[in-house]
Amino acid sequence: MASSIMSNATVVTRATPAQASMVAPFTGLRSASAFPVTKKGKHGTSLPSTGCRVKCMQVWPPLGKKKFETLSYLPELSETSLLAEVQYLLNKGWIPCLEFELEHGFVYRENNRSPGYYDGRYWTMWKLPMF
C-alpha cells in the first residue's frame, strides 16, 4: 500500500527555495470607496466639545481686598474701571455677584488623600447677588 502511494506522488520542483516564515506583505486597502464617508459640518467640526480648550481663571482671595469682592476674576482695577465693568454687566442683564469662600482661602484636601479629580483640592465659590 505504501508503494502505491509513493507511485502516485508527484514531484514538485521550485525555482526558489521554500521559506517557511515568509508572509505576503500588506498592500493596503483595496478601495477607499467601499467605506462610508462622514462629512464635517459647516462650522469645521462634527464632534462635541469636551472642554479641553477651556482656560483656567485666577480667583482673587476675597479677604482684605474689598475692591475685588465685586468681580473676583479681574486684576487690580481703578474705581472708574470697576464701575465700567459693573455697568457692563447691568447693561447685559447679568447679575453681578460676590464670590467668596471664608473657611479656606486656598486649595486644600478635606476628605480624600489620593490624587485625582474629585479629591477635595478644589474649593467652593459661594455666589451672592450684589443687588
Asked whether residue 43 is assigned to any structural domain, the reply reads no
Asked whether residue 64 is assigned to any structural domain, the reply reads yes
Asked whether residue 98 is assigned to any structural domain, the reply reads yes
Question: Where is mean pLDDT largest: 49-58, 65-74, 84-93, 102-111?
Answer: 84-93
Number of domains, the chain: 1
Asked whether residue 28 is assigned to any structural domain, the reply reads no
**Domain range enclosing 57:** 49-131
102's torsion region: left (phi>0), alpha (psi -120 to 50) or beta? Answer: alpha
Q: What is the pLDDT of residue 28?
A: 63
For the beta carbon of residue 94, count every other beta carbon within 10 angstroms: 9
For the beta carbon of residue 117, count every other beta carbon within 10 angstroms: 6
Q: Retrieve residue 83's grid coordinates.
A: 464701575
Least confident of 19-23, 56-60, 113-117: 56-60
- β-bridge partners, 97: 129
List, for residues 43-83, the tens digit of each pLDDT value.
555 555 555 554 554 555 555 554 434 465 567 778 898 78
